[in-house]
Amino acid sequence: MKFPVSMLKEFVSTELDAQQIGDLLTMAGFELEGIDEVEGEAVLDIKVVSNRGDGLSVFGLSREVLAKDPSSQPTEHYAKVAKGYIRGDESSTIPALTGKVAINTNHCKRFACRLFDGVTNGPSPEWMQKRIRQMGMRPISLFVDVTNYVMVELGQPLHAYDYPTLSGGQIQVRQAEEGEKLVTLNGDEHVLRSHNMVIADATRAIGAAGVMGGHNTEVSAATAQVLLEAAHFVNTSVRKTRKELGLSTDASYRFERSVDPNGVVRALNRVAELVENALEKPVTSPGVVDLFPSPPVAGSVPIRVSRANALMGYEGDDSVTIEQAKSYLERLGFEVGGDGEPFMVTSPSWRPDIEREEDLVEEIGRIHGYERIPERGPIGETPIGGTSGLEAMREAIADHLMRMGFVQTISHSLRDTHHLQSSRPLFGPRNPGSPDHAYLRNSLLPSLADASNINGNRDLHLFELGTVHTIVNGDYAENAMCAMLSVGALTASHWVKTPPAIADFFSMKSAVEAVGRAAERPISLKVPTQVDSRFHPTRQAEIVAGANPGNREVVGIMGQVHPDVAAACGLAAETVLAEINLDALGLKAKDAFVPRLISRNPAVSRDISVLMPVGVSFEKLDSACRSALIGREVDLIIERFELIDVYTGKGIEPGFHSLTVSFTIRKMGQNLTDEEANRVRERVVEALAGLGGAQR
């Protein structure tokens, strides 16, 4: 809310300058957004939190300044406003309006009018036009400007009608007829529903209550008779209508938060005063029509100052005394009663936010000062801190992948569709706002593809830990995932030329195995039961976690990107991808891990080259060789068994390849003899022969 500081100084006699007042309001909870110099004067821009509608007026903020700063004093104007800006004619009604004003809805709690006769609705006085501009509004005419001015000054929205245009000379608040039409002041036509509250004359709607007046009864330069209305509307009704009509106004903004129901007549009186000052003659018809069927009864809340000190943490000399607490509350307009504690506190009509003791604790704290709160560390028994479970696993995975050279990316969950998305159901917000974020990703691979695109699609090794969404058995499912993308050189390029290793299926396999190590679940790959169309059909695998058959499950998929998909989404054709479901990976128990003790006896190594039919998988060969290595020798340690060469080409007949495996074995506590090592080698050769492999 913007207002010139001179307006506030009409309410508060103070030595404070604009900046000091702004800072003081900030520390009272009304944040200074800025001070602008407008037409030679400092204009404060104050942000008011949503539960403090009483702060949406200069008068309301003055009250906060006075409560917070005991050296500031209320002015006569403040005292007059606080007492209701009495003109003296309030207790009598207006004969001309007898039987012509009515509340016909539950959503209006108070409705009051004044009548003005013989007015000239020309421009408002220059001083007022200046202030209207300082508030960020446009001067229009005397009645429009005065009602806007008083709304900012006192917080009560008002509306002026050209009285002769009201059919039947009547005004009422009622619910709209279903389908009833209203053209608002801005010229828009609205078709209303029965839950919209309207101001109406005898025959038609003339305003959307609490939101905007109607075009048909608008004051003009020709207006000589004005009916001025001020009311108190139920905030939820105003909010609903405002949203439906798409009209956010200064009035609806205030009604939605809160307006003091007891300030209705005061605002009418203030308008009368300002209009008569401007026109320099009496134009106010004596009397007020004030329909206020059931004024709210102020509730009382007990407060213990000891409780306030305990919750705020005030200690020693900074503790709040009962006298201080009462003084703070009284300065804010609360009534206090009783001795000792608890004492009873009655809220003023402008503070519907106060419901219970804790609300009063905040009021006391606000005025006493948050800077007086000491700093104490958390008390009590210290629980187990830090991360465990899924989060600890995510941290370990990130560490493992970064060590291997993968760079972490983090990208949006909301996105558009993509060739690499999963075939599982995809959904998004029902109000996405933009097609760029119409869906929640169901795979991290599209995000990694985007990251690859942004960074040139070459020599990139990326991973992301993130969440994906899909629908499983009719319910929303959210999963933690880890995905990797790898393409190009695995080593950094340099002016010293060395041929780099290039990422391929098997370098990605090693990254996938590292994820397994981080999660303490050994990883193996198997040929997919169903081909995933995102990947190269003969270079893809399902990722299986777990060492023991009973503890083993598919947790992800990996492979080289399908060449058509690569072309469609701008990836290099040799890009390899993997995605692992971490909820699945972490679901089952970790596999037991027993570190191997190191033998200090010498090792023996042997190589074997065989001619092997191409159809025999390495997995088969690997397990056959490993069991042959051990044989029945329980004390034999297989320190290393690996494939060291694969050769096809010259000298090798088609359908075969030459494989060279190498192993290193030892015994614990005794030396292996050459004969023993050769026996082991013979067993392996036999096992390979069993698979159709002939030693070369």
Site for another protein in 221-250 (CB under 8 A): 235-236, 239-240
Residue 603 near another protein by CB under 8 A = no
**CA 69 – CA 61 distance, rounded (Å):** 12
Decide: is 473 part of the binding site for another protein (CB under 8 A): no
∠219-223-224 over CA atoms, to 5°? Answer: 135
CA pair distance 532, 529, nearest whole angstrom:
9
If the CB atoms of residues 384 and 598 are measured against another protein, the closer one turns out to be 384
CB of 173 to another protein, least distance (A): 20
Q: Supply 216's token pair.
A: 């048909």
| Nearer residue to another protein within complex by CB, 9 or 415 | 415
How many Å is the Cα radius of gyration of the chain? 40
Inter-residue contact 52 to 107 (CB < 8 Å): no
**C-alpha angle 113/119/124, rounded to 5°?**
95
Question: Where would I find the H helices in 302-376?
Answer: 305-312, 322-331, 357-368
Q: Shortest distance, CB of residue 157 to another protein, whole angstroms?
A: 15
Q: From the list 189, 280, 323, 371, which residue makes contact with another protein (rule: CB under 8 A)?
A: 371
Residue by residue, DSSP assigns 568-586 as HTT--TT-EEEEEEHHHHH
Spatial contact of 216 and 204, defined as CB atoms under 8 Å apart: yes
Q: Which is nearer to another protein, 172 or 409 (CB)?
A: 409
Which of these, 299, 308, 310, 389, lies nearest to 351 by C-alpha position?
299
Instruction: State which of residues 83, 494, 600, 650 lies at the interface with another protein (CB under 8 A).
Output: 494
Task: Map residues 47-86 to x or -, x wherever contact with another protein holds by CB under 8 A.
Answer: --xxxx----------------------------------
Least separation in angstroms between residue 107's CB and another protein is 13
Which of 166, 361, 576, 584: binder of another protein (CB under 8 A)? 361
Nearer to another protein, 109 or 469 (CB): 469
| Minimum distance, C-beta of residue 422 to another protein, in the bound complex (Å) | 16
CA distance 583 to 600: 41
User: What are the two backbone dihedrals, phi and then psi, of residue 336, each rounded to the nearest 5 degrees?
Assistant: -115, 145
**Residue 379 binds another protein (CB under 8 A):** yes
- How does DSSP classify residue 573? T
**Least separation in angstroms between CB 406 and another protein:** 4
Interface segment toward another protein; rule CB under 8 A; list 181-189, 334-342, 483-491, 525-533:
483-491
Question: Whole-angstrom Cα distance, residue 356 to residue 340?
Answer: 18
* Interface positions, 7-46, toward another protein (CB under 8 A): 26-29, 31
Which range binds another protein by CB under 8 A, 80-88, 217-225, 492-500, 572-580? Answer: 492-500
DSSP states along 103-132: EESTTEEEEEEEEEES----PPPHHHHHHH
Of the candidate residues 117, 188, 315, 635, the single one contacting another protein (CB under 8 A) = 315
Phi and psi, residue 636, nearest 5°: -85, 135
Please report how close the Cβ of residue 133 comes to another protein at its closest, in angstroms.
28
Examine residue 574 and tell whether it contacts another protein (CB under 8 A): no
Residue 24 CB partners (closer than 8 Å, separation 6+): 16, 65, 68, 69
Q: What x-and-dash track marks residues 97-136 binding another protein by CB under 8 A? A: ----------------------------------------
Taking a C-beta distance cutoff of 8 angstroms, is the pair 681, 608 a contact?
yes
Nearer to another protein, 467 or 671 (CB): 467
In the complex with another protein, the residue whose CB is nearer, 402 or 589, is 402
CB of 257 to another protein, least distance (A): 6
Q: At 541, which helix (H) or strand (E)?
A: strand 535-545
Q: Which of the residues 243 through 302 are near another protein (CB under 8 A)?
A: 256-257
Q: Do 516 and 523 touch, CB atoms closer than 8 A? A: yes
Q: How far is the CB of 51 from another protein (least distance, A)?
A: 5
Residue 416: CB minimum distance to another protein, A? 13
Distance CA 623, CA 629 (A): 10
Closest CA to 559 of 527, 584, 581, 586: 527
Among 411, 551, 658, 660, binds another protein (CB under 8 A): 411
Tell me the three state secondary structure of residue 549.
helix
Among 336, 330, 340, CA closest to 305 = 340
Among 295, 429, 435, 537, binds another protein (CB under 8 A): 429
Candidate residues 131, 326, 351, 461; the one interacting with another protein per rule CB under 8 A? 461
- Answer for the pair 607, 662: CB distance below 8 angstroms, yes or no: yes
Residue 414 has a CB neighbour count (10 Å cut-off) of: 16
Backbone φ and ψ for 405, nearest 5 degrees, come out as 110, 10
Q: Which is nearer to another protein, 217 or 235 (CB)?
A: 235
Among 83, 376, 632, 650, binds another protein (CB under 8 A): 376
596: left (phi over 0), alpha (psi -120 to 50) or beta: beta
- Give the total of residues touching another protein (CB under 8 A): 96
- Minimal distance, residue 304 CB to another protein, in Å: 10
Please pick, from the candidates 92, 427, 533, 635, the single residue that binds another protein as defined by CB under 8 A.
Answer: 427
Q: Which is nearer to another protein, 112 or 571 (CB)?
A: 571
Of 398 and 547, which CB lies nearer to another protein in the complex structure? 398
Of the ranges 102-110, 112-120, 175-183, 463-471, which one interacts with another protein (CB under 8 A)? 463-471
Helix axes 357-368, 305-312, angle to 10 degrees: 70
CB of 653 to another protein, least distance (A): 40
What's the token pair of residue 648? 């096809």
Distance CA 235, CA 258 (A): 7
Site for another protein, residues 321 to 360, rule: CB under 8 A: 356, 358-359
Nearer to another protein, 407 or 587 (CB): 407
By CB under 8 A, tell whether 183 contacts another protein.
no
Tally of CB atoms within 10 A around 242: 22
Q: Which residue, 16 or 449, has its beta carbon nearer to another protein?
A: 449
Residue among 453 and 623 whose Cβ is closer to another protein: 453
Stretch that binds another protein, among 289-297, 306-314, 570-578, 606-614 (CB under 8 A): 306-314
Q: Does residue 613 belong to the site contacting another protein (CB under 8 A)? A: no
Site string for another protein, 383-402 (x = CB under 8 A): xxxxxxxxx---x--x--xx
Q: Among 163-171, 378-386, 548-556, 680-688, which window interacts with another protein (CB under 8 A)? A: 378-386
Find the largest Cα–Cα distance for the chain: 127
**Start-end of H helices in 430-504:** 445-454
Of 585, 587, 580, which is closest to residue 557 (Cα–Cα)? 580
Other beta carbons less than 10 A from residue 133's beta carbon: 15
Stretch that binds another protein, among 131-139, 280-288, 309-317, 688-696 (CB under 8 A): 309-317
